[in-house]
Chains A and B, each alone.
Chain A
């Protein structure tokens, strides 16, 4: 048995286990995020501003290394969100697909480990998410909803502030798994 074949035999099960763990995290964390968005504001209404599924999408996109996995990940989270709302399925899906794609594209050009860059990106993508969702609601569904830019900016800053520790925790979890 050569050194090469020995390495193949030992690494294949390890890689399979790592893939399983990765798959679980890919499914479980978005579900937890969506669930917390559904359940937590019932008791702490102030936390309704927190867009955890978006932050999870941005984090995954920044660390995925490629736009295609990121856009599919965003689409998955968005469709789950859509299915728990009373809007047609696809509204959040489109928005989060774009967020995933653009965030992954940005991660190739900037140092996304820098906290300042992370903060700015989280704020920008929150604003982009809310604004694009509002545009889609008006354009595709014809809903006469208002867009409160000031409130969106404030909530964007709060989400960006939450994103910093959240991304750090998610990075540690990823390394540990």
Chain B
């Protein structure tokens, strides 16, 4: 044994050291606990130096920058150069001051308006490791910061606190490959999981290919992850191609545009509403209410004919039916609602749009007004021919499915679902003399052959 140890002393020491570190890692991974002592020592030793360096940089960088600027204008006149240099020094100094003041003011305004309780912090250094995207901020557990807290700016989320030390905290940025957060899109309310990619853009994962996401659409935090309160902006979609199973939605983080300098750590988050956006692709179209008739319009047949809806008029089936029956009443000098019960009603069999022929006493203009919509949209409107006999009418009529626009009892394609349901009983009762006038219907799609789902 002694011979072995003396012969392989170096190797033995190496194995002991490696084994000790492996045990250390295994302990941390298995118990999901950290070794705070070593980290606190290292961070406490490094962060004061970083803060000092940052302080020196803030007060000297402008002068160094101006020095290099002045090197470029050495050939100019000495007096002008001195004046120019002075002005540039002053200008840069004021610009830097103004920029700092603007950022600080924006941060404080956001902090005051946000319902969440936050604390402002400044980034003082990066974490080690080429792949990791972590930064140190100058607020730690003495300021109430804890691991797992969200880090945001007025422009959007930045990351989350992964370690809190007494004087500083380690923040994992949203571009880190191991970062994840729940997000929801603004317009279509598509839920997904934001993942860092190790570069400037992030990926929203677990969104089905069937979901609809627009380029430029905003994503907000959904609050599902219990880290980020709902309603904080995340970023805009730059690309959203379909993937193998899920969409590959790339988002440009809005909170990290132009670098991260000052941030807010959310000590106590309050959920907010995601700002409303326009509905991108509704499955149906809501029609506008019919226009009120002009005051003083004479109830003449011509006027009634004008009341018959034209193609493209935004009226309902009930309005059109009402207009047609009103026209019949005017032609037959019958006023609806008057006369004793049981009095003779108007002869509805003379309604021109029902039988496809104009009434004998109707003016030609009125007939033209009735026929015009049919000619304009032949697939959408069709007159119902009279049933020849009761026996023929009693025979069940098959309902073709391939060309619904050609059937009599089925509505033209593109009609609303409500009119579909209304026409179904009529199709099942062929013997009943139910007449359903075929009227132009405003459809959500310009294509008359398009189905209701399109």
- CB pair A41–B21 under 8 Å, yes or no, is no
Q: Which of A38, A79, A97, A155 contacts B126 (CB 8 A)?
A: A38
B interface, by DSSP: helix, strand, loop or mixed? helix
Chain A residues lying within 8 Å of B129, measured Cβ to Cβ, are 81, 85, 87
- CB pair B18–A89 under 8 Å, yes or no, is no
Assembly CA distance A166 to B125 (angstroms): 24
Could you say which interface size class chain B belongs to? 35 or more
Which candidate, A13-21, A56-64, A109-117, A139-147, is the interface stretch facing chain B? Answer: A139-147
Q: Shortest Cβ distance from B29 into chain A, in angstroms?
A: 6
Chain A minimum-CB-distance residue to B50: A39
Assembly CA distance A97 to B57 (angstroms): 34
- CB pair B128–A38 under 8 Å, yes or no, is yes
Q: Is B131 an interface residue (CB 8 A)?
A: yes
- CB pair A83–B41 under 8 Å, yes or no, is yes
Chain A minimum-CB-distance residue to B23: A90
A:111-136 near B, CB below 8 Å: 130
Q: Which of A38, A84, A86, A90 contacts B172 (CB 8 A)?
A: A86
Q: Shortest Cβ distance from A51 into chain B, in angstroms?
A: 8
Chain B residues lying within 8 Å of A38, measured Cβ to Cβ, are 46, 50, 125-128, 136
- CB pair B42–A80 under 8 Å, yes or no, is yes
Chain B minimum-CB-distance residue to A50: B130
- CB pair A71–B17 under 8 Å, yes or no, is yes
- CB pair B21–A75 under 8 Å, yes or no, is yes
Q: Is B35 an interface residue (CB 8 A)?
A: yes
- CB pair A89–B28 under 8 Å, yes or no, is yes
Q: Which of A37, A79, A81, A141 contacts B29 (CB 8 A)?
A: A141
Q: A89-B39, A140-B25 are in contact. Are A35 and B17 (CB under 8 A)?
A: no
B-contact bits for A61-76, CB 8 A (1 contact / 0 none): 0000011100110010
Q: Which of A34, A67, A72 contacts B46 (CB 8 A)?
A: A34
- CB pair B17–A34 under 8 Å, yes or no, is no
Assembly CA distance A93 to B41 (angstroms): 16
B:210-237 near A, CB below 8 Å: none
Assembly CA distance A35 to B17 (angstroms): 25
A interface, by DSSP: helix, strand, loop or mixed? helix
Chain B minimum-CB-distance residue to A68: B13
Q: Is A163 an interface residue (CB 8 A)?
A: no
Q: Which of A42, A72, A79, A140 contacts B125 (CB 8 A)?
A: A42
Q: A71-B14, A141-B29 are in contact. Are A86 and B132 (CB under 8 A)?
A: yes
B:8-56 near A, CB below 8 Å: 9-10, 13-14, 17-18, 21-22, 24-26, 28-29, 34-35, 38-39, 41-43, 45-46, 49-50, 53
A-contact bits for B124-142, CB 8 A (1 contact / 0 none): 0111111110101000000
Q: A83-B42, A89-B39, A90-B22 are in contact. Are A68 and B10 (CB under 8 A)?
A: yes
Q: A67-B14, A85-B134, A89-B28 are in contact. Are A94 and B50 (CB under 8 A)?
A: no
Chain A residues lying within 8 Å of B170, measured Cβ to Cβ, are 86
- CB pair B42–A94 under 8 Å, yes or no, is no
Assembly CA distance A91 to B132 (angstroms): 13
Chain B residues lying within 8 Å of A161, measured Cβ to Cβ, are none
Q: Shortest Cβ distance from A39 into chain B, in angstroms?
A: 5
Q: Shortest Cβ distance from B396 into chain A, in angstroms?
A: 64
Chain B residues lying within 8 Å of A83, measured Cβ to Cβ, are 38-39, 41-43
Given contact pairs A89-B34, A90-B21, a sample of 6 additional A-B residue pairs in the complex whose CB atoms are under 8 Å apart:
A38-B46, A85-B134, A90-B25, A93-B21, A143-B177, A143-B178
